[in-house]
Structure 1
Amino acid sequence: MTSATLNRKSRIPIFIGLCILAASILYPVFFLAIAAFRPRLDYLRDPLGFPHEWTFANILAVWNGYGAGAAFLRSLLVVSTALVIVLVFAILAGYALAKFNPPFAKVITGSFVSVMLVPGQVLILPIYLMLSAVGLVGSYASVILLYVATSLPFAVFFLSLSFRSLGDELLDAARVDGAGFFRTLVQIVIPMAKPSIATLAVLQFLGMWNELLYALILLPDDSKRLLTPALSMIGEKLVNNQPLVSAGLLIAASVPLLLLSLTSKYVVEGISIGSSK
């Protein structure tokens, strides 16, 4: 709406500002990528310059020699499992809150907002004691349960707002045609809310993938470390070897970058829908 009312000259400063902002974001990623493929001596000669030599040795060393490969696969399994559980429950609960007006719906929504305002650091001790009491500390189930529990309030709140914007006419027509709850949800609601669901999935995945504190506390065994804690340990050992550190960070960033590139269309659409509400 705003861009359509601006003339060409007024758009030029905005375009320049966006280009500068994009460059400030892309350059660190570019620097990380080229540093990961440079030999250490080449990097020390000119840390900010363009590499004279290229090598995959850093990636292979971090992946195989320092255990980042196994940690990467463990993180992918844990985060994917938690994300699927969060999306399933968030879609069901968000749809119910938005379209079925259950008793105490406002109280439930308000409780979700209240939980989101609680700092995660406050919950470290009670969460650890609860999981330790049931013998889950040191298992992947503890991290999955934690990610699901801490992600659901925002996920349900986010999707309930998105589902409220869906017209009731299509849902009523589906009921008249004999569609049940799950058929309506799968064939009508989810396809119509695909941008919002994709946006939520990306946000939740990034939060889980980059989480460090709980993954470090709940999985103290080195053989079960997830990627972010494993890289933090590697970074302490290789603080003077920037190419190896960059290789580890590039491995960690590869999945989020791939996910964002595949879902960017839906994410932009979902953000634009959310900003218009």
Structure 2
Amino acid sequence: MELRTSRPTVKSPSNHFLGKGLNGLGKLLLLAYAAFTLYPLYWLFISAFKTNEDFFNHPYSLPLVWMKENIVRAWNLGHMGRAMMNSTLVTVSSVILTLVLGILAGYVLSRFQFRFKKVVVVLFLTGMLIPIHSTLVPLFLMMKKIGLLDTYGALILPYTAFELPIAIFLAIGYLASIPREIEEAAMIDGNGWWGVFGRIIFPLCTPIVATISILAFLRFWNDFSFALVFINSSALKTLPLSLALFSDGFGTDYSLTMGAMAIAVIPTIIIYLILQEQIMQGMVAGSIKG
């Protein structure tokens, strides 16, 4: 019998250098994309310390004189302390309500079989197709009748309702990837469905909770139209409404506007930096089964 020995494959120098070149090109493109993405933030923060004249004459350069007073004046004139408290209260309440309802609904729809289940899922997901701003007038009339206008509830309830479809969609995809054997083992140990969910399933949902939280936070924190229509009292105005104070029908004070925007964007950056790893896990976990 003739024996054949396999020869080890040797990479040619040309293929080796080609691979390294493509790898370096990929890193260079990613670096360029990162710089392109981060530049607006850089421009915002340097513009926050410029005078109006410097803003127009040298829009892309560093400030000739660093006007730290812009931040203080924007904070005081826009009543941003009060507005930030209002935005925080509305946003945190809406995010918590969205998480509780979204995760529970996603758990039921991903684990239980019942009649008309597909119809219920389709109804929930149809909410993603509804243009939010087309509902402003009917919502205004509805809230006026039930006395919710100019209250925190006028923002919390619509925010939660319009964020639930995407929250349920993400939760279904993620929870479907969790093995059912974990639940069966917990049931054998004497846990009921609430015990299984609270002790086993929910602690495993950290990535999708972080993903839903940051997506909901960005939408609620930056919303302007709902707050403009449903809120009239200056004591309840949120941050986007405070930013509008620096612009009127005759002109815009860009130095104060940029200072106020720099203040408003800081909480978003902090929360994203804290949750970024969990967000990436949550976005891809639903595509992996088992």
TM-score, normalised with respect to structure 2: 0.87
How many angstroms does 1:198 deviate by?
A: 0.6
Aligned-partner Cα distance in 2 for 1:208–1:102: 33
Name the counterpart of 1:253: 265
How many angstroms does 1:144 deviate by?
A: 0.7
**Aligned partner of 2:173 among 149, 161, 166:** 161
Name the counterpart of 2:243: 231
Change in CA separation of 1:172 and 1:142 when aligned onto 2, cut-off 3 Å: same
Counterpart residue identity of residue 88, structure 1: V
Worse overlay, 114-123 or 47-56: 47-56
TM-score, normalised with respect to structure 1: 0.90
The alignment covers a number of residue pairs equal to: 272
Aligned-partner Cα distance in 2 for 1:254–1:8: 38
Counterpart residue identity of residue 191, structure 2: A
1:160-199 alpha-carbon deviations (Å, 9 max, x no partner):
1211111001111011111222332222212222111111
Name the counterpart of 2:224: 212
Worse overlay, 182-191 or 66-75: 182-191
Conserved? CA contact 2:222–2:240, under 8 Å: yes
Asked if residue 139 in structure 1 is aligned to residue 113 in structure 2, the reply is: no
How many angstroms does 1:240 deviate by?
A: 4.3
**Aligned partner of 1:65 among 46, 60, 77:** 77
How many angstroms does 1:275 deviate by?
A: 5.2
Runs of 5+ unmatched residues, structure 2: 1-17
1:104-152 alpha-carbon deviations (Å, 9 max, x no partner):
2211110012121111122112111111110111111111111111111
Name the counterpart of 2:11: none
Name the counterpart of 1:3: none
Change in CA separation of 1:84 and 1:220 when aligned onto 2, cut-off 3 Å: same
**Aligned partner of 1:202 among 187, 203, 214:** 214
1:59-104 alpha-carbon deviations (Å, 9 max, x no partner):
1111112212211110111110111111111111111111122332
**Aligned partner of 2:100 among 71, 81, 88:** 88
**Aligned partner of 1:19 among 15, 31, 55:** 31
Name the counterpart of 1:270: 282
Aligned-partner Cα distance in 2 for 1:57–1:91: 45
**Aligned partner of 1:172 among 164, 179, 184:** 184
Runs of 5+ unmatched residues, structure 1: 1-5
RMSD: 2.1
Conserved? CA contact 2:111–2:176, under 8 Å: yes
Name the counterpart of 2:254: 242
Aligned-partner Cα distance in 1 for 2:42–2:195: 46
Name the counterpart of 1:129: 141
Change in CA separation of 1:226 and 1:240 when aligned onto 2, cut-off 3 Å: closer
Conserved? CA contact 2:208–2:278, under 8 Å: yes
Greater Rg over alpha carbons, structure: 2
Change in CA separation of 1:215 and 1:240 when aligned onto 2, cut-off 3 Å: closer
Aligned-partner Cα distance in 1 for 2:194–2:182: 15
Worse overlay, 202-211 or 41-50: 41-50
Worse overlay, 35-44 or 49-58: 35-44
